[in-house]
Amino acid sequence: MQITDTAAIVTGGASGLGGATAKALAAKGARVFAVDLAGSIEKAEQVEGVTYVEADVTDPEQVRRAVDQAAGSGVPLRIVVGCAGIGPSARILSKKGSHDLNLFRKVVEVNLIGTFNVVTLAAEAIAKTEPLADDQRGVMINTASVAAFDGQIGQVAYSSSKGGVVGMTLPAARDLASQGIRVMTIAPGIIDTPMLATVGEEIRAGLAAGVPFPKRLGRPDEYAQLAIDIVEHDYLNGEVIRLDGSLRMAPR
């Protein structure tokens, strides 16, 4: 599927994986709508071809407004990349007591339910576009994590939410096949995002050393490159691709 002269929504699009993907899609000729929270948008690097839209992925009305804005941009909405997410850490039992249920609920609400909310509302808009070759109308790329498979100590909420995104992939692709919409998921390993920038160099070096090859942290632009490849490769559908340098996470 061609990217030029299409509209694309990227959630979490103000920075990190989403920021890199929004920039890459715009460079390919897409009209990009980067959806994020107000605080993140205020700090975002302004990129030509990218419109920043304030919305919380867990709020149906806010997401619907963002989808309507993209769908009404004058070019067909065909691409959705979901990068919005949070990753707080807590053990089921610790010296502080048991895992806070509200924290668990919040992580699932943002990472899993937020992803589903965007998929559902955007699919409704994409389904109304004119079909291309092979009756294709669009593609959705969601973001899981290697934690969906190799969750570490303290990642029970995060791993559960990302495992749900993995589990959503195939049935979503099957549900939307009749509408000509593909659904794929990327499961990144340790990527050098702003979230990781808050840790010290010693910790970063240790994380990089644990990657079999190449022995370094992944880059957001590598995620964006894979997202572009998925959009352009029409026969990729219903699958999860690990982007992790062959990393398998240890318990801690």
Instruction: Catalogue the active-site residues.
Output: 158
Q: Name residue, tokens 């919305």.
A: 55
**How many angstroms separate the CA atoms of 51 and 60, rounded?**
20
The residues facing 97 across adjacent strands are: 94
79 HSE (CA, 13 A, CB side): 33
Name, in order, each residue with C-beta under 8 angstroms of 135's C-beta and a sequence gap of 6 or more.
Answer: 180
- The CA radius of gyration of the chain, in Å to the nearest whole number, is 18
Q: Name residue, tokens 């460079």.
A: 27
The amino acid occupying position 191 is: I
**How many angstroms separate the CA atoms of 160 and 166, rounded?**
10
Nearest to 236 by CA among 150, 140, 157: 140
Contact between residue 110 and residue 58 where contact means Cβ atoms under 8 Å apart:
yes
Contact between residue 244 and residue 189 where contact means Cβ atoms under 8 Å apart:
yes
Contact between residue 153 and residue 252 where contact means Cβ atoms under 8 Å apart:
yes
Report DSSP state, residue 195.
Answer: T
